[in-house]
Chains A and B, each alone.
Chain A
Amino acid sequence: MRTSMKPATIGAAIAIAAFIVFVVNTNRGLAPYNGSNIATFIVVGLSLGGIYAISAGGLVVTYATTGIFNFAHGAIGCFLAFVYWELRVNRNWPAPLALFVVIFVLAPLIGVILDRALMRRLRDASLVVQLMVTVGLMLTFMGVTLTIWEPNTGRSLPHFFEGTAGVRVDGVVATWHRIITVGLALGIAVLLRFLLYRTRLGIAMRAVVDNRSLAGLTGARPGVVSGASWALGCMTAAIAGILIAPETGMVVENLTLVVLTAFAAAAIAQLKSLPWAFAGGLIVGLASAFAGEFMSFKRDWQYAPDAIPAAILLVALLFLPQARLETGSLRLTRRTERLTKPWEAVVGALVVVGLVVAWANGWIPWVVGSHFGQRTPVWLGRGAEYLVLGLIMLSLVPLIGWAGQVTFANFAIAGFGAAMYAHVGGQHGNPIGIIWVVLMCAPLGVVVALPALRLKGLYLALATIAFAQLADSLLFRHPAIINQVKTGSLYKPLDLFGFHIGSDANDRKAFVIFLAIAFGVLFFLIEALRRTRWARRWIAIADSPAASATIGINLTLSKIVVFALSGAMAGFAGTMLGLSYGALRVDSFPLLSGLPLVLLLAVGGVRYPIAAFLGAIGLLGFPALQEVFHNASWLTSATLIGPGLAAISMAYRPEGSVFYAGRDLAGLLPWRRDAREEKAAAVAKARELDVRRDEIGDLGLTRPFTPEKVAQLDRVLGVADELTRLPAAAPEVVRSGAAGD
């Protein structure tokens, strides 16, 4: 709670300020700092900032009132901007009608449906599941938008009052669109503030975050409140999308990634302060406008302006106060499992290797046939590529599955590994280079996590998204990392024990078999790692950080170790990724390509190494599906919609399909009585939990206190017997049980 500035904070602030001055000075553009340029910068900055502020405001309101951070915020805005385009431009509706339908009908409708169908189920879910579902929503909305509005058609959304003069101030034209934007941002800021602090609904919204059950007892209806806040969030997303579309163009990726600016603003707002969210939006807008007006990046860094929101986000994280170790937020699991025995892990690894080797040699009859996964050079190439993606997923198992650290950066780290391998051995087919890359990527894994290591898990997800974006627009675009002139001649096949391993048609079979063996070995090692004290420690940290600290675990150190391990594995996968691509392009590793990997792993069950193999096969299914349907146009976005929908389903099946399938199958084996017993115990426990949720949530609201209800409550809450004999004291017990001590 102490807010005094520590010397380290001041030092960091000075260092960052100096760095910004340095960057600004070395990349000065031609425009001088004169009155009219500064006025232009301010007009553009304020209007951009206004849009970002609207978007960030909605994001923060939704998070603050429901506890769920909506990664799909930008994608929903993008979808609704396309709907607006369809109505306004394609069908020529008048603007007010189109605006009304999109902002006041469709947006709230989407919000309420999302709340009803998904978000309420996520209230008690783990952070991993919450993130996967909203990221899945993001990919789904993107995929749907791309499917309905074919992306190769040129579209443009006019500015409001385009063609009118606007207002001239000191030789600078402020168009009506920009004036409206700034006005709207101000209006929405005031309105949201008023809503949250001056209306009954708003006060209920804020109460619900603090304590759901308490808010229930005081008469607020949590269901209505969360529905309203999702509706509100979607409305701001729609407004921001419609306002920004004329600036960015109607491009799905760009419109969706505008959300990074809202993420940055939300980080500045510590995810909860509405005024700071608006200030944050303005900061990002002004910074972007400043770069646009006064700076000119050299060719090597030409994409640097794209990285501004991500950079601001990372800097903001550095200055956030340390997270307190919370207690009382333990999530009870319904999962039962036992440790995989070493022999089972060996069998699993052999089955994986055996399957792939059999397929690569053409020993499996039904996929040797005419098409669909036929063992052609094309499919061998794909097999190699997707096995590599499986390796990247494998690198996430200890990190996300065990330590609970949700990262979206490992695809970018693998990309960095691929690029580095081309410099340190890949160009000669030298296997020693792989070791160098692994040694480089382990610390990179830690560096990525460093800004968010002391913060709560959601910030880590934001930081890694920001890193992936930075890598995409700075690292991979720099000729020192990926040299466009030399593409195509980056890698020679790996020379190992006389085999040639690479992406040439003749080498592909050896490549696939090599990858399968590498996957099998890593699979076994990770299963073995699960039985060590390190894995136990990571799981302990994920389950209860506070309890971990109080048994003497150094949280920071333990997290650094798992990030380094994961980074090293991603680096190895990266060298293989480079080999399988054969050539790298500057756009080989976009942020959005990394997301389906994380999602499909989670859908399989992020704690289980085998889910990485299943995830790879799942990814491979999408090109296979396209082949089956002869490249039908409605399938072009299946690689987004498929993993997206799968991830959304986690709202209903949070533990991952490996768990559910494993539990049910193990129960069928006659010698696995333990599995049946554990399942029975879990079911009984689940029933107890359901009783608890229903009873506490509704008691006193919709149901009267009856003696048997009170008795049931006491049993569930574990209240001492002597209290239950005093019916008059029972409501008091309920209250204290909900409020805690």
Chain B
Amino acid sequence: MALLATEEVVVRFGGVRALSEASIEVDAGRVTGLIGPNGAGKTTLFNVITGLLEPNSGRVVFDGVDITQRTPFRRARMGISRTFQKLEAFTSLSARENVLVAAEQRKAWDRSSFNPGEVAEELLQLVGIADVAEYMVGTLPTGTARLVELARALAMNPRALLLDEPSSGLNEEETQAMAGLLRRLVADGLAVLLVEHDMSFVMGTCETIYVLEFGRMIAVGPPEEIQEDPAVQAAYLGSAVAP
């Protein structure tokens, strides 16, 4: 059974259906991709999963438990972690403090013995921002600040990690490093749900890809199938983002 799943989630904004019966399954130990043109509802689905947005109907299931009614912080404590499409780092804390605050927070539910300071240090090294650890995040370039967000999300030692366009703001080399990092993380049993516009990144890292268009899942499958899928090609034709 999938670690994280949404079941027929519907979200309406006024008269607009942002999501229509969107179902998705995210397994532990692999990267699941979620792609679609701008405005397809990818970030909306992330918000539903993490509890920032209450769906009009449908369920969110994590580890066999229905979490649709749980508050965001309770879901986080169960092991769901995310980054944001538009930067949501703590801009008036230093990069180190950003990671530290999440690691310390983990003490609230994780009984294993760990030192938040050491966890933060390790993660800063891991994502490669140790040299700017003492800078306030508000003064860092956007790409670096996104890495701070990633380290912060990892500091919670999550079981499922939702990444919203992690490569935006990164250069080619950094994107490669990010892909390598993701492979390492899923090898350790993490479930990753990835929203991404960089198609080579998506096709290179994901084992399963879901395609959203106007709030509907129009396709699901491994990368090779998705690339050949006529519905997907139609969805992307005329849009700014060509695969």
- Chain A residues at the B interface, C-beta cutoff of 8 Å: 1-2, 324-325, 327-328, 330-339, 533, 536-537, 539-540, 542-544, 546-555, 607, 674, 678, 681-682, 685, 718-720, 723, 729, 732-733, 736, 739-741
B88, CB-defined interface residue at 8 Å: yes
From A550, A607, A741, name the one whose CB has the most chain B CB atoms within 10 angstroms.
A550
- Chain B residues at the A interface, C-beta cutoff of 8 Å: 12, 38-40, 42-44, 47, 50-54, 56, 71-73, 75-77, 80-82, 84-94, 97-98, 100-102, 104-106, 108-109, 116, 134-136, 138-143, 149, 152-153, 155-156, 168-169, 197-198, 239-241
Inter-chain CA distance A326–B241, complex, in Å, is 27
CB of A331 within 8 A of CB of B91, answer yes
Q: Which of B42, B101, B136, B169 contacts A718 (CB 8 A)?
A: B169
CB of B91 within 8 A of CB of A333, answer yes
Q: Which residue in chain A gives the minimum CB-CB distance to B84?
A: A327
Tell me the minimal C-beta distance from B97 to chain A in angstroms. 5
Q: Which residues of B are found within 8 Å of A543, using beta-carbon distances?
A: 89-93
Q: Which residues of B are found within 8 Å of A333, using beta-carbon distances?
A: 91-92, 136, 138-139
Tell me the minimal C-beta distance from B156 to chain A in angstroms. 6
Inter-chain CA distance A550–B52, complex, in Å, is 8
Give 10 CB contacts A-B under 8 Å.
A536-B93, A543-B91, A549-B52, A549-B72, A550-B72, A552-B156, A720-B168, A732-B240, A736-B39, A736-B240
Inter-chain CA distance A331–B90, complex, in Å, is 10
From B76, B90, B135, B143, name the one whose CB has the most chain A CB atoms within 10 angstroms.
B90
Q: Which of B52, B97, B102, B169 contacts A551 (CB 8 A)?
A: B102
From B82, B92, B197, name the one whose CB has the most chain A CB atoms within 10 angstroms.
B92
Inter-chain CA distance A733–B75, complex, in Å, is 34
Q: Which of A325, A546, A729, A740 contacts B240 (CB 8 A)?
A: A729
Inter-chain CA distance A720–B52, complex, in Å, is 28
CB of A718 within 8 A of CB of B168, answer yes
Q: Which residue in chain A gives the minimum CB-CB distance to B98?
A: A540
CB of B88 within 8 A of CB of A336, answer no
Inter-chain CA distance A335–B138, complex, in Å, is 7
Q: Which residues of A are found within 8 Å of B50, using beta-carbon distances?
A: 550
Q: Which residues of B are found within 8 Å of A723, using beta-carbon distances?
A: 240-241
Inter-chain CA distance A155–B93, complex, in Å, is 54
Inter-chain CA distance A719–B42, complex, in Å, is 18
CB of B39 within 8 A of CB of A550, answer no
Inter-chain CA distance A607–B138, complex, in Å, is 16
Inter-chain CA distance A549–B80, complex, in Å, is 11
Q: Which residue in chain A gives the minimum CB-CB distance to B241?
A: A723
Q: Which of A330, A332, A554, A732 contacts B73 (CB 8 A)?
A: A554
Q: Which residues of B are found within 8 Å of A338, using beta-carbon distances?
A: 94, 134
Tell me the minimal C-beta distance from A377 to chain B in angstroms. 44
6 A-B pairs with the lowest CB-CB distances in the bound complex, closest first: A333-B138, A549-B72, A552-B76, A547-B88, A718-B169, A543-B90
Tell me the minimal C-beta distance from B142 to chain A in angstroms. 6
Q: Which residue in chain B gives the minimum CB-CB distance to A674?
A: B134
Q: Which residues of B are found within 8 Å of A739, using beta-carbon distances?
A: 38-39
Q: Which residues of A are found within 8 Å of B94, using beta-carbon distances?
A: 338-339
Q: Which residue in chain A gives the minimum CB-CB distance to B110?
A: A552
Tell me the minimal C-beta distance from A531 to chain B in angstroms. 10
Q: Given A325-B52, A330-B86, are A536 and B139 neighbors across the interface (CB < 8 Å)?
A: no
Q: Given A550-B76, A720-B197, are A536 and B97 neighbors across the interface (CB < 8 Å)?
A: yes
Inter-chain CA distance A1–B138, complex, in Å, is 33
CB of A741 within 8 A of CB of B139, answer no
Q: Which residue in chain B gives the minimum CB-CB distance to A679?
A: B139
Q: Given A324-B53, A536-B101, A546-B88, are A552 and B109 neighbors across the interface (CB < 8 Å)?
A: yes
